[in-house]
């Protein structure tokens, strides 16, 4: 039997996490990063891809993979709109959430 009380606690924990996020968002602006050309170009290609259509029912792993692909595409959008190419690198100001998504994916 599932302990439903724990999910009530998790919902409250989620609200606290969101409140912390609001405090952080007010204190942190975009961060400037340098990315190698190959990963920057791959991110832009992810943004330019057309992935329209209905999705089948997904497993948790499939959802997580699609979510990461979406985060990559948003970084690609930022690169295509605001990226400044310097030789074999692109310099881009990323929202801290995008940078955090990339860091979480690297674990």
pLDDT tens sequence across 16-71: 999 998 998 889 989 999 999 999 999 999 999 988 878 889 999 999 999 999 99
Closest by CA position to 74, among listed 43, 51, 103, 36: 43
Whole-angstrom distance, CA of residue 89 vs CA of residue 37: 5
Name the residue with higher pLDDT: 51 or 77: 77
pLDDT for residue 80 is more than 60: yes
- pLDDT value of position 38: 97
φ and ψ of 36, to 5 deg: -65, 150
Is a pLDDT exceeding 50 seen at residue 1? no
Residue 23, φ and ψ in degrees, nearest 5: -65, -45
Question: Is the pLDDT score of 95 beyond 50?
Answer: yes
Using alpha carbons, select from 81, 78, 107 the residue that is nearest to residue 95: 78
């Amino acid at each position: 039997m599932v302990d439903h009380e724990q999910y009530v606690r998790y919902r409250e924990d989620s609200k606290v996490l969101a409140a912390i996020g609001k405090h952080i968002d007010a204190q942190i602006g975009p961060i400037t990063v340098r990315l190698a050309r190959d990963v920057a170009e791959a991110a832009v290609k992810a943004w330019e891809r057309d992935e329209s259509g209905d999705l089948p029912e997904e497993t948790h792993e499939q959802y997580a993979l699609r979510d990461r692909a979406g985060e990559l595409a948003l970084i690609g959008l930022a690169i295509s709109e605001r990226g400044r190419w310097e030789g074999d690198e692109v310099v881009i100001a990323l929202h801290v959430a995008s940078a955090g998504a990339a860091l979480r994916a690297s674990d």
